Amino acid sequence: MNKIEHLGIAVKDLAASNDLFTKLLGVAPYKEEEVASEGVKTSFFEMGESKIELLEATKDDSPIAKFIEKKGEGIHHIAFAVADIQIEINRLKEEGFVVLNETPKRGADNKWVAFLHPKNTNGVLVELCQDIEE
């Protein structure tokens, strides 16, 4: 793993949270996008080499909606940048981690993503990210 790519924060209201984080960080989000397959709308803030991703549910049955219902707003996941996501998935499976999606899927911010089950990572949802080169 190369670096922390971003921290994902679940929020109820993306517009209000964008305003809050703009004041907090002193910078506006550089991107907003919807990932319909995950039922989420996101925005990204750059912080040096890392990012903050805010996530708002767009469907009541989306993973973010379920997270907020159960735990409230807050840190949802930590994402690590990797050079080759499939190699990392295979390595982590061999190490005994439970990979939630063994085939990388298209995520926000032009990334291939895969997630590790939090039961194997001290309760933290871990995301692996690789830039999509088109």
3-class secondary structure, 52: strand
> For residue 75, what pLDDT is reported?
96
> For residue 11, what pLDDT is reported?
98
* pLDDT tens by residue, 77-105: 999 999 999 999 999 999 999 999 989 99
* pLDDT tens by residue, 1-53: 789 999 999 999 999 999 999 999 999 999 999 999 889 999 999 989 899 99
3-class secondary structure, 15: helix
- Choose between 49 and 56: higher pLDDT: 56
3-class secondary structure, 19: helix
> For residue 33, what pLDDT is reported?
95
pTM listed for this prediction: 0.91
